[in-house]
Amino acid sequence: MIKPENAVYSRTKVLTDNIMHYCPGCSHGTVHKLIAEVIDEMGIQDKTIGVSPVGCGVFAYNYLDIDWLEAAHGRAPALATAAKRLNPDRYVFTYQGDGDLASIGTAEIMHACNRGENIVVIFINNAIYGMTGGQMAPTTLVGQVTATTPYGRNVELNGYPLKITELIAQLPGTCYVTRQTVYNPLTVRKAKRAIRKAFENSMLKKGTSFVEVVGTCSSGWKLTPVEANQWMVDNMFPEYPLGDMKDI
Amino acid sequence: MAKIKGTIVVDIDKCKGCGVCVPTCPTKTIALGREVNGKGYNYMQAVNPDTCTGCTNCATVCPDTVITVYRVKVEG
């Protein structure tokens, strides 16, 4: 039975053979895979430029066999703007986490989206700074315990969770703003369709496509990967509801 | 009636044994094994290989893309 002609699911060639450095069960791996599969299916491996962030996703260039740029913290949309304007025939996307995009990079992402740059933004929201050891991020939920909020996020002291995707959906430069997740087969397939649509939009000169993926950080949340998925369903989705916010 | 039979192959060296695939398996084919791989992780195994239908659920959610799924129709 184990013959190439019987294979119904195998690793795409756009992913390299490197073992990912991510913790077991990390959503980053799933999203990398979806981007690789979309690039493979669209046949754009030699026409895609990725911009990787600072954060756990910084080593994305080790795992996808395409052209990459590495941006300073939060500045991926600025680099993507330059790459896309100089190479309008290339598919350009940024891959950013919530500490990168929603905190230090807020100015860059807001203005890139407001200018309507024809790029794709993949935004991984796991409500915590994963790489640096689980500190509070702007997207951390009220009451969530992190390394810097040991008694839970306090609204009077730390403010409210930043719903940056809702803010970006207000900007006229964006054409497609959606929030997806990747914790079960149904949502993974939906997220893949959303990423594919975003890549197709970037060549139609309609504006910026913004795909938020609500993910888990089992190490930062101090849960097992399966428990982290359940915690995300119970706590993240009421604050960050899934679905398309804008699609024109 | 033709029956559908599937099988999975796990890339042992790349699997981190996160177990995200276990709840997605409708036939409880896949589970965490007792053996460890070169990185010190327990890895996923097809503990009930006869029940696999090749639905690809486990491979779809796998963060490290270590599962390859094969499916054939068996006549009879």
pLDDT in tens, chain A (248 residues): 888 888 899 999 999 999 999 999 999 999 999 999 999 999 999 999 999 999 998 999 999 999 999 999 999 999 999 999 999 999 999 999 999 999 999 999 999 999 999 999 999 999 999 899 889 999 999 999 999 999 999 999 999 999 999 999 999 999 999 999 999 999 999 999 999 999 999 999 899 999 999 999 999 999 999 999 999 999 999 999 999 998 88
Residues of A in contact with B66 (CB under 8 A): 11
Q: Domain total for chain B? A: 1
- Label the pairing between strands A91-97 and A120-125: parallel
Compute the nearest-CA separation of B55 from chain A (Å): 9
Is residue B1's pLDDT more than 90?
no
d(CA A198, CA A220) in angstroms, rounded, equals 29
Gap from A4 CA to chain B (nearest CA, Å): 8
Assess B70–A contact: CB distance below 8 Å, yes or no: yes
Please state, in angstroms and rounded to a whole number, the distance separating the CA atoms of residues A92 and A219: 31
Residues A129, A139: Cα–Cα separation, whole Å: 10
Question: CATH number for the domain including B7?
Answer: 3.30.70.20
Structural domains present in chain A: 4-247 (3.40.50.970)
* Minimal CA separation from B67 to chain A, in Å: 7
CB contact under 8 A, B65 and A22: no
Nearest to A229 among B6, B20, B41 (CB): B20
B53/A contact by beta carbon, under 8 A: no
Q: Which domain holds residue B14?
A: 3-74
Task: Identify the burial level of A62 via C-beta atoms within 10 angstroms of its C-beta, where 0-12 means exposed, 13-18 middle and 19 or more buried.
Answer: middle
Taking the Cβ of residue A226 and every Cβ of chain B, the question of whether any pair is shorter than 8 Å is answered with: yes
Q: List A residues 134-193 in contact with B (Cβ-Cβ < 8 A).
A: 182-185, 188-189
